[in-house]
Amino acid sequence: MSTPQTSTQSAETDNALLDIEALESYLLAAMEKWQVPGLSLAIVKDGKTVLAKGYGVRETGKEQAVDQQTLFPIAGSTMSFTAAALAILVDEQRLNWTDRMIDLLPGFQASSDLITHTATITDVLAHKTGLPVDSLSFYPNPGFSRAEILRRIKHIKPSSEFRAQSSPNFQMYTAAGEVIPVLTDISWDDFVSERLFKPIGMTDSITGPDQFGNKNNIARPHETIEGNLTAVLHANTSNVGPAVSIYSSAADMAKWLNFQLNLGKVGENPLISPEQINIMRRSHNTANYAFPEMAKHFINHGFGLMITDSSQGGHKFYSFGGNTEGTESYHAFAPELGLGIAVMVNSSTVIPQPLVAWIIDRYTGAPDRDWISERTPVYEAGIESALTALDEKQKAITDPSTSPSVALSCYGGGYRHPLVGDLNITERAGALSYTLGSTYQGELTHANHDTFFSRVKKPYLGQFFFSGPAQFRLDVEGEVISVVIAGREFLRVD
């Protein structure tokens, strides 16, 4: 593990609250134990930056160090920026939080008439539409434009009743972001850059991986594949940019946290009115999952923010984060404490959330609790359990005594699903492989009769979305007409 890199220390650290040496010892030990190549950390307190610093390396096996300006994906925290951008438009009276999506976006259509004709900006930003995240509708197809992503929303089936419970959805946040160019003739990317990044002073940050250009101080994502820490490609998230695509640094996230703690002001200049800040931080919806390191009694949704009471002390925190391929991130701030923290890592290990909880405990005087050792194994066990379940499912449906109804080459060809897109299956040397969209690659292994088992090989996260039984369907003449994978029927198109 390389030594910590450049620090921004613009305030005297109160060691009675946070011992920086103890913090660094704790996080470096965790990085070593959990094979985290690089970590970016920002801590602000009472309007000043306590720490903005990088640890480790941008890519395993290479010497380029992470510093305070190294870019990491902030994943779901992007939603906070989209909500803030819309708040600016509300202040400018170009938009109301209660405006209907169908009135703002020409051609807006969901799978339910109720959602189509009733859903408001508030419903979208507070995850109240009942439409689930459907990663297969965008990750395999980075070439889909945002307009194409939105056109396909009508094929996403609700997972819950409208306004009944929390149902985060990237496509709907993308739709909310695309309201901006309709109202301003300025793209979401340019609006966020000019109206948020620039005035706040976030000079490192970009709106997506399509903005890398000549930048090279970027952390490389990593996955643990067959026990080996492996550098992987950045996820192509720009087509759902308003939901998940921003890249930022420790230095810039410190500025963002201070902006939030300063109630939407840069210095003494209001960028967003206190009225809109308070509306964004209001509890608009109840979340339906557990988050013990950050929530003692409740988890609610504001606009682009989760609202929780800290596990120790009960202080109200606003936060968000998440993961992309080979990365994990999380940011949180508590106005009553004047405290903000952001952590980003270039591996899929869930360290940011428990590390934030550990730092919060230092500032609230809570008893020592090793949150990383307690919580990270739980997340890791969940991944192992999911992979084991796939193995068991494949074993359960496999019957070597059976044979396919037709020659393997007959299963090959082009298939299409209205939401997910094109699936191309190829037979070569007695084996079936496939590509889904332009980025997913996998194999189909015979299980029984006309049922195979799908295994995504690249990207790593794809195996959790598109692995499972693949059942081919034949017509009365024995011609293959479709295949059902992950509950979706792809119709033969060649």
Mean pLDDT of 93-115: 96
The predicted structure's pLDDT at residue 494: 87
Note the pLDDT of residue 4: 54
**Average of per-residue pLDDT across 137-164:** 94
The answer on pLDDT for 11 being more than 70 is no
Query: For residue 5, what pLDDT is reported?
Result: 55
Give residue 7's pLDDT.
47
Tokens read off for 114:
């109720």
Q: Report phi then psi at 93, rounded to 5.
A: 60, 30
pLDDT in tens, 389-428: 999 999 999 999 999 999 999 999 999 999 999 999 999 9
Q: What is the pLDDT of residue 9?
A: 44
Residue whose entry in the numeric block shows the structure tokens 């965790």: 30
pLDDT tens digits, 86-97: 999 999 999 999
Domain with CATH 3.40.710.10 in the chain: 20-370
Burial class (CB within 10 angstroms; exposed 0-12, middle 13-18, buried 19+) of 426: middle
Confidence of residue 227 (pLDDT cuts 50, 70, 90): confident
Query: Which stretch of 208-212, 225-229, 253-257, 266-270 has the lowest confidence by average pLDDT?
Result: 225-229
> Does residue 10 register a pLDDT over 50?
no
- Give me the mean pLDDT over the 129-156 stretch: 94
pLDDT tens digits, one per residue of 237-296: 999 999 999 999 999 999 999 999 999 999 999 999 999 999 999 999 998 778 889 998
Cα-based distances in Å from 114 to 159, 179, 334, 352: 14, 20, 36, 38
% the chain with pLDDT above 90: 90
> Mean pLDDT across the chain, nearest whole number?
94
Q: Give the whole-angstrom CA distance, residue 30 versus residue 36.
A: 8
Predicted confidence (pLDDT) at residue 196 exceeds the cutoff of 80: yes
**Three-state SS at 313:** coil
Instruction: Kindly give, in sequence order, each residue whose CB lies less than 8 Å from that of residue 441, ignoring residues fewer than 6 positions away.
Output: 433, 434, 435, 456, 457, 458
Q: Are 365 and 343 in contact (CB under 8 A)?
A: no
Please, how many CA atoms are within 13 Å of residue 270, restricted to the half-sphere of its CB? 11
pTM: 0.94
At 309-334, the pLDDT tens digits run: 987 778 999 999 999 999 999 999 99
For residues 366-383, average pLDDT: 94
Average pLDDT for residues 439-449, to the nearest whole number?
Answer: 97
What average pLDDT does range 52-73 have in this prediction?
A: 97
* Separation in Å, CA 402 to CA 194, 310, 484, 485: 62, 56, 19, 20
DSSP classification of residue 456: E
Average pLDDT, stretch 361-389? 93
Architecture of domain 20-370: 3-Layer(aba) Sandwich (3.40)
Residues 48 and 10 sit within 8 Å (Cβ to Cβ): yes
Tell me the Ramachandran region of residue 285: left when phi exceeds 0, alpha when psi lies from -120 to 50, beta otherwise.
Answer: beta
- pLDDT of 212 reads 97
Q: Over 80: is that where the pLDDT of 14 sits?
A: no
CATH number of 408-492: 2.40.128.50
Beta bridge partners of 56: 38
Q: What backbone torsions phi and psi does residue 402 show, to the nearest 5 degrees?
A: -100, 160
As a whole-number percent, the residues of the chain with pLDDT over 70 amount to 97
Residues of the chain with CATH 2.40.128.50: 408-492
Q: Which amino acid is at 43?
A: I
When pLDDT is averaged across residues 155-160 and rounded to a whole number, the result is 94
The Cα–Cα gap between 476 and 79 comes to 49
Q: Is the pLDDT of residue 13 over 70?
A: no
